[in-house]
Amino acid sequence: MKKMILPIFIIMSIVSCKEQISHGPMILAGKIKNPNWDSISICDPLNRVILSKKLSKNNTFVDTFSISRGNYYLCHGIQIFSMFLKPSYNLYVEFNDKSPDETINFKGDGANENNFLAKKQLFEKKLTGLNNFYLNKDKFLKYNDSLYNIRVNYLKSYKNTLEKDFIAWELKNYEFEKLLEISRFENMHQLVTNKKDFIVSGQFPDPYISLDFNNDQLAMSPIYLKLIDNYIGREVKAKINKNDSLDWSLGVLNIIENKIKSLKIKELVCYPHVEELLIYTKELDTVYKKLSSFTKDEGLLHELKVKYESMKNIHRGSISPDFSFYDINNSLVTLNSLKGKLVYIDVWAPSCSPCMAEIPSLIQVEKDLEKKNIQFVSICMNDTKESWLKTVKEKKLKGIQIYAKRDSCSFYKDFSINAIPRFIILAKNGFIFDPNAMRPSNPKLKEELLHLLQ
């Protein structure tokens, strides 16, 4: 079990092609020894909490709730477990929060499948890593085949205790896992070897050549969804390489609209990324309308509307939310104090590799525009104050330097900042010009800033 933030695609169960997804009540009970949190929750494939339950005085819980057959996450503080649930289950779970990986155990209906998933998660730790992406393409493909065979043999060792349809779809998942690694190879090989110009040859397998993008049955496979996600990423990257003025969000949604006809798959592919799609666009209204057409779920549509209304407050042409910080020299910095100058804001952290990679370019842009009416503001969102001060000193960072932890101010929430680096341009009158500005490494940034300074 990994200690992590909920991923974009939560693992879901895979059902037999001949079986319809059912919905009905089940019972979940359990006990947590040495708990570090006072409750448990069950989250569905879109990260929505479908059950939240406080622990009793003796650290137990029990509840009856409605469920569709599938895999969900049991969450307890920072601990997250994959679970396979279906209607009519009466399932019991217990673990020691001091050693959850080794102690989690299920009893009752579905115990075999859930205990298998827990053991499989530990087993997978031995198989995962980046070493395979260092290999040349032939060795990589051979290694990828061997991983597939290892997973199959591991599953076979449990075949007498697991449901047949569960085994069949686990095997299907392993096939998708193999295709997923193939889809990642080019980008990951570029990253780990620092060979940015590396391109796989035409003889390299195409993982998408036989992939059905509109099979609702396969929508229950997390790896299938990741394959589609990678395909969309690959296609929009290729389009942006040909036309760097293309709106990223519209590019993504247009690919989905043209390639995927299944409303269910559109929903599962799009809605975990709603906030990103609304942030990284200059065509907010168009993106909102397209996203609205990708689901009929009233709950999701409501959440979309709330996020859309929030993004309208920080879109181009809006008045910037007010803010107030003390900088490295203990001087007060506010929106009002910056008015009269063009403002380029960099939200970063020393532990963020992409953030640090932008620093040389940021320094150069500052140097090129040092005599212009522009103020550069760098806000450190994470890490310790000591780490921030050390980095500012070592890198000889200029401009206004601010340290403000994420939970210490409303700035990050006001600008919907959930990932860094993030760059923002404020006009001289305090209005927002771009809530998601170009990075310093983009050659066009300097050109845009000079244009705004005229």
Q: Could you tell me if residue 213 is left (phi over 0), alpha (psi between -120 and 50 degrees) or otherwise beta?
A: alpha
Tokens read off for 249: 């969000």
Q: Is the pLDDT of residue 41 over 80?
A: yes
Averaged confidence pLDDT in the chain: 89
Phi, psi at residue 5, to the nearest 5°?
Answer: -75, 150
**Helix %, strand %, coil % for the chain, to 5?**
45, 20, 35
| pLDDT at site 128 | 67
Q: Is the pLDDT of residue 7 over 50?
A: no
Q: What is the DSSP string of 117-150?
A: HHHHHHHHHTT-SSGGGGS-HHHHHHHHHHHHHH
Q: What is the DSSP string of 379-400?
A: EE-SS-HHHHHHHHHHHT--SE
Q: Of all helices (H) and strands (E), which one includes residue 239?
A: helix 222-242
Q: Is the pLDDT of residue 20 over 50?
A: no
Task: Say whether the peptide bond before residue 222 is cis (omega within 30 degrees of 0).
Answer: no
pTM here? 0.77
Among 120-124, 175-179, 233-237, the minimum mean pLDDT is found in 120-124
Tokens read off for 343: 């403002």
More confident residue, 148 or 245: 148
User: Could you tell me the pLDDT band of residue 21, with boundaries at 50, 70 and 90?
Assistant: very low
pLDDT above 70: percentage of residues in the chain: 94
Contacts of 310 (CB under 8 A, 6+ apart): 416
Tokens read off for 368: 């090129």
Q: Could you tell me if residue 129 is left (phi over 0), alpha (psi between -120 and 50 degrees) or otherwise beta?
A: left
- Cα distances (angstroms) measured from residue 436 to each of 287, 424, 448: 15, 5, 13
CA dist., res. 295 & res. 301, Å (int): 7
Q: Is the pLDDT of residue 9 over 70?
A: no
Q: Is the pLDDT of residue 10 over 80?
A: no
Best CA proximity match to 316, nearest among 347, 288, 281, 340: 281
Q: Of all helices (H) and strands (E), which one includes residue 344?
A: strand 342-348
Counting every residue written for the chain, the total comes to 454
| pLDDT at site 14 | 34
CA dist., res. 12 & res. 83, Å (int): 9
Q: What is the distance in angstroms between the CA of the first residue and the CA of the last residue of the chain?
A: 55
User: Could you tell me the pLDDT band of residue 8, with boundaries at 50, 70 and 90?
Assistant: very low
The single-letter code of the amino acid at 231 is: Y
Best CA proximity match to 195, nearest among 133, 249, 129, 125: 133
Among 2-6, 17-21, 300-304, the minimum mean pLDDT is found in 2-6
Tokens read off for 439: 């990075």
User: Could you tell me the pLDDT band of residue 254, with boundaries at 50, 70 and 90?
Assistant: very high
Question: What domains can be seen in the chain, in order of their start residue?
Answer: 23-114 (2.60.40.10), 131-312 (no CATH), 324-453 (3.40.30.10)
CA dist., res. 268 & res. 299, Å (int): 14
CA dist., res. 400 & res. 443, Å (int): 23
Express each pLDDT in 143-153 by its tens digit. 999 999 999 99
Tokens read off for 87: 């209607």
Per-residue pLDDT, averaged over 390-419, amounts to 91
